[in-house]
Amino acid sequence: MATMTVRQAPIPSSSTSSAPSPPRKKRANSRQQAWHDGADKHQGGKASKKGRAGGVKKDPPPLIRKVGLAAQIYGIQGVMGTVLWFQGWREWLYPPDGGPDIVKAYECRPGMGVRIFFPKSFDQTSPNTLPTIISIHGGGFCVGTSRDDDEWNRRVADTQGMLVISLPYSKAPRAPFPAGLNDLEALYLAVLADESLPIDRTSSPSKSRRGGRSRGLKGRVALAGFDAGANLAMALSQLPAVRSSLSAAAPSAVVSICGILDLARPVEAKMTGRPYKQGLSYPRSGTMDMLANTYSAYTWSYVPYGQDLRDPCLSPAFAGWDVDDGGEAQQGDGALPPHVCLVGAELDMLAHESWRMACRLVQEGGIRRGDGRRARWRVPDPDAGGDKAQSVCGREQLGAVKGALEMEDLSVSAREDEDGLGARKRFGFEVTWPDGGEEEGDGDGSVRWILVPDVMHGFDRTLWRAGGEETVRDAELKTVAYVDALGKWLRDTGLTLTSTVDLLAPGVSMPRLGFGIYRVQPSETVDAVLAALEAGYRHIDSAQLYNNEAELGQAIRKSGVARKDVFLTTKIRYPGLNKAKTWKKVVDSVRKVSGAEVSTGKKRKRIEDEEVAEKKGDAGEEYVDLFLVHTPYGGPNAKKERKEMWLALERALEEGKAKAIGVSNYKVEHLEEMREYAKVWPPHVNQIQLNPWTQQREVDAYCQKHGIVVQAFSPLARGDRWDEPIVLEIADKYGKSPAQVLIRYALQKGWVPLPKSEKPARMKANAEVFDFEIDGVDMERLDGLDGKKMGYFEDGRLEK
């Protein structure tokens, strides 16, 4: 483990020595008002009529109470300080396994070490970037260090393939709110400005490969925190310097684990409003009382007198959206990142708090969205308790789950059930919504709530585990389960690992990993595409030659995935012998792929289900994202046919029936020939066969020189080369399958691979290729396999 100090230019801070200002005062809608009125009732006040005007202030306690709280908090700090001193001394003598790879100190906070964890499979000399989690430790704002979460941070780094950076902060009561938040803001911006770290920065400018790190996948930075650290993580995500669209630091997701989210709600209300009643023996039955007995001392030392307890930077439960006088949603100072995940422990008095916030975020669209629309799916009343709340999370009986965890997301079709939650899932729910449009600041949003059953507050840290071997093992297994669920959620939302590549067509980006449906029978296409979408693919490749375009369109309609969230490609195989017939072939493909026709045996019928289209927001839209000329080869009039097909695609581009156009199987001479007749040149894409045995280096280099994106069909070489010793050795080295190595190879070559499989398990495995990097030596070994396979036969017939 290395320790170093980094000097840098001062970074301006958006927070000050005084408390951050609350959101702008606007007229709240009825459900938002109910949330604040509920807090008023718990504070002993009256329901307000005009939102949170005036707020809820912290008043000084009686002198005796003040002395008691001070004695309690300083006593806790003394005991914990002694424990930490001995722990640090022991670690100095016997460095533990699983600690950070690097500890850095930055000039903005020279006395605070930032702990950095690289995935074990990551080459730190690589120019590649990683999805990044910035973690913040807990401790009630008053105790603890970032060392406390080393086990969790190491687990996430190694199992999820993410860079984890743990930030420290000053503790109350010597440094009350917002001092710790100021520390975190300064360190966050310093870390994001540190070019030596392989952070995948949001909105950072691209860099050449000759200087600095190459830009990786877009927007893969998230904040995460535990109990008090969760409060600080959500507060940090709201600060203007952090969330500004002009900043390279804007996180795309925030995660709360057993978070303290509402300091306006007194501990008595947290206890009585808790819907999950335990009937277990000590120590788990007493852990809630232990937290309750220290909670008041923690919050007393952290919150200054006169502070508005509903300030969203103090109580993130109040962060989100406000509504102006015209009823339109406006972004306030308390805007959260687009994706929010809240994890609660069932035997924790804070569990209900996380559920209430998740419900409110869904009800009010309390995520930065940009268009003011509300989520369509209704969720239960956040203030519900008892049986009503238990029916929501589907909890049947306590202690029923040991060493396992059911946290299935809602199926798409279930979201339209009566209460918006669909079939009862036992321990959580998720609601997502599409982006709000093309304006800057819009984007997908989601809320994920996870209830980890039958465990106490802080169960995922060794210090809090107790109760015998079975209880400890149970907590360990559930830590693994919820970390895996959290990692999947991050990959699917805020830290999505399917990056995009920009095409020459204005405003068009294509997912870097696609799914091909070549040789998939029409009768099997719908199921295959639905399975691919379920596995996370958002780029599907079809063609007229495959005879399954209509089934592809049907699958997209059936999936519930918005059309604009999927990138669909098709290809024209032969011209129609005249311009009119060629154009008709283009239009027919567009209608089929857009779902305007559905296969019913040999007949085709028009879809008239406008209700389905309206729900998906795509009513009346018929287009393909990418239309290609399938092959340059044909009969004696091949050159004329190529021209005729290309001019038809140019018309499709002009009329909006295709967002981008390109070619397939074109060699350099075919691309050069296009200059004679093409208005749109160079083509946006060239799809050719590419894998280690067929690298077509001349064509690839030509395309790269002219900005033509190269798609790779048959990246797996149809599986007939997987037993190649070099491939097997490399697969064993990285703990991956041969197929995953070949797909990763294609990605690192700059290609867009289109693997094919009809087995859901293999589809899913083929998509899990963004958590490792093939080093330079192994890439050269794979490069050396070139020359054993061609992309098409000598007579010009397509091999695929």
Catalytic residues: 546, 630
**Residue 65: partners with Cβ closer than 8 Å, 6 or more residues away:** none
Match 């009823």 to its residue by tokens: 327
Contact 626, 510 (CB under 8 A): yes
Q: Using CA atoms, how far apart are residues 351 and 409, in angstroms rounded to an integer?
A: 19
Closest CA to 333 of 23, 26, 28, 14: 23
Contact 101, 167 (CB under 8 A): no
Match 């064993």 to its residue by tokens: 732
> Please, is 233 exposed, middle or buried when counting C-beta atoms within 10 Å of its C-beta (0-12, 13-18, 19+)?
buried
Residue 784, classed as helix, strand or coil, is coil
Contact 569, 629 (CB under 8 A): no
- Using CA atoms of 540, 544, 547, 553 in order, give the dihedral in degrees to the nearest 10: 40
Mind giving me the DSSP string for 320-339? SEEE-TTS-EEE-TTPPPSE
Q: Using CA atoms, how far apart are residues 100 and 120, in angstroms rounded to an integer?
A: 11
Contact 253, 338 (CB under 8 A): yes
The amino acid at 610 = E
The amino acid at 250 = A
Angle CA(249)–CA(254)–CA(257) in degrees, nearest 5?
140
E strands, 453-511, are 500-502, 509-511
Phi/psi zone of residue 752: left (φ > 0), alpha (ψ -120 to 50 degrees), beta? beta
Contact 268, 292 (CB under 8 A): no
Contact 183, 174 (CB under 8 A): no
> Please, is 506 exposed, middle or buried when counting C-beta atoms within 10 Å of its C-beta (0-12, 13-18, 19+)?
exposed
In eight-state DSSP terms, residue 368 is -
Give the residue ranges of DSSP H helices in 365-457: 386-393
Closest CA to 335 of 369, 310, 376, 383: 369
E strands, 210-312, are 221-226, 253-257
Contact 336, 237 (CB under 8 A): yes
Closest CA to 70 of 201, 166, 174, 189: 174
Contact 746, 694 (CB under 8 A): no
Q: Using CA atoms, how far apart are residues 389 and 784, in angstroms rounded to an integer?
A: 61
**Residue 519: partners with Cβ closer than 8 Å, 6 or more residues away:** 546, 756
Residue 697, classed as helix, strand or coil, is helix
Most distant CA pair in the chain: distance in Å? 100
The dihedrals phi and psi of 738, each to the nearest 5 degrees, come to -55, -40
Q: Using CA atoms, how far apart are residues 426 and 457, in angstroms rounded to an integer?
A: 19
Tally of helices (H runs) and strands (E runs) in the chain:
22, 24
The dihedrals phi and psi of 624, each to the nearest 5 degrees, come to -115, 150
Match 């109580």 to its residue by tokens: 315
In eight-state DSSP terms, residue 141 is T
